[in-house]
Amino acid sequence: MSGDVNGGEVSPGEAQLAISGVSKHFGGVRAVEAVTLSVRSGELISVIGPNGAGKTSLLNMISGFYRPDTGNIVFAGKDITGARPSHVAALGIARTFQNIALFAGMTVLDNIMLGRHVHMKAGVLSSFIYWGLAQKEEIAHRARAEELIELLELEDLRKQPTSGLAYGLRKRVELARALALDPKLLLLDEPMGGMNQEEKEDMARFVLDVNQQWGTTVILIEHDMAVVMDISDRVAVLDRGRKIAEGSPGEVQRHPDVIRAYLGTAKERREAAAA
């Protein structure tokens, strides 16, 4: 791990997650280009940027879906560069997806119970026998699942298959499943995308609660600037794969490169709409 942390306020020693110089290219597309970012334990940091800036690709490298072309990622002192997603999850990094990845045929409850997987121990034989060890474990973890159901106000839906739920509710179930891992670090990819104002406020409140009450570190990708500026401790801005700014919400908003990146895309959008 090198010491060249942009932004300066975080020294690498106390970083829970240290991303150093990671890049990911797809053919000619530089999805992520030499990004360095440190996240302290308990922090709520937002990653923003125009469409295609590389935000999701960055999360994919942290959670193990993409192997970085260059650079490395260290979590809680362990190098997780290129580790398998299931391994990363077992270390305590949970995640939700931009386009929701629930088990559609399963109930809300089963989805959340699956989130407990890494904390449960029943093997093939004790599952086969069930009565005794496996049953005791099911009951204990069911209690934890019920806590999350209560926290996210999903009581009426626990036995519903997730496929039938409204979009906003499915996002909430996905958050519940991620929280069921009792993660140390939570990666949220546009958890409020496609929601109405009221749903957004609910979701923002859940995320803040988790961050503040449990001290869970959160990396949030979000397009809604009002929400981002409201709840983030720190904001990092990506544009065309590069990190162009990092700092407090206020600092970032005034940063000339950020203003240019956003106005630029707004202008391009107008041109595209006009064409």
Query: What would the two tokens of residue 212 be?
Result: 């503040």
Q: Give CA–CA dist 202/43, Å, rounded.
A: 20
Min CB(57)–ligand ATP separation in Å: 3
Q: Which residues of 100-136 are buried (b: 16+ CB within 10 A; e: fewer)?
A: bebeeeebbbbbbbbbbebeeebeeebeeeeeeebee
> Where on the chain is the footprint of ligand ATP (CB under 6 A)?
26, 29, 31, 49, 51-57, 98
CB of 191 to ligand ATP, least distance (A): 13
Cβ atoms of residues 47 and 29 within 8 Å = no
Least CB distance to another protein at residue 54 (A)? 19
Task: State the residues that interact with another protein by CB under 8 A.
Answer: 63-65, 84-87, 89-90, 94-95, 97, 101-106, 110, 113-115, 117-118, 120-124, 127-131, 134-135, 137-139, 142-143, 146, 177-178, 180-181
- Confirm or reject binding of residue 57 to Mg ion (CB under 5 A): no
Q: Sign (positive/negative) of CA torsion 100, 104, 110, 115?
A: negative
R_g over Cα of the chain:
20
Q: What is the DSSP letter of 23?
A: E
Q: Which of 56, 63, 217, 232 binds Mg ion (CB under 5 A)?
A: 56
**Which residue number, 56 or 232, has a Cβ lying nearer to Mg ion?**
56
Contact 265, 53 (CB under 8 A): no
CA 170 from chain center: how many Å?
15
Q: Could you tell me if 237 and 246 are in contact, meaning their C-beta atoms sit under 8 angstroms apart? A: yes
Q: Is the Cβ of residue 122 or residue 235 nearer to another protein in the bound state?
A: 122
Cβ nearer to ligand ATP, comparing 56 with 216: 56
Residue 52 interaction partner, one of ligand ATP, another protein, Mg ion, none, beta carbon < 5-8 Å per kind = ligand ATP
Q: Which does 99 bind (CB under 5 to 8 A by kind): ligand ATP, Mg ion, another protein, none?
A: none
Chain length of the chain: 275
Min CB(116)–another protein separation in Å: 8
**CA–CA separation, 230 vs 208, rounded Å?**
10
**Measured from the CB of residue 185, what is the shortest distance to another protein in angstroms?**
13
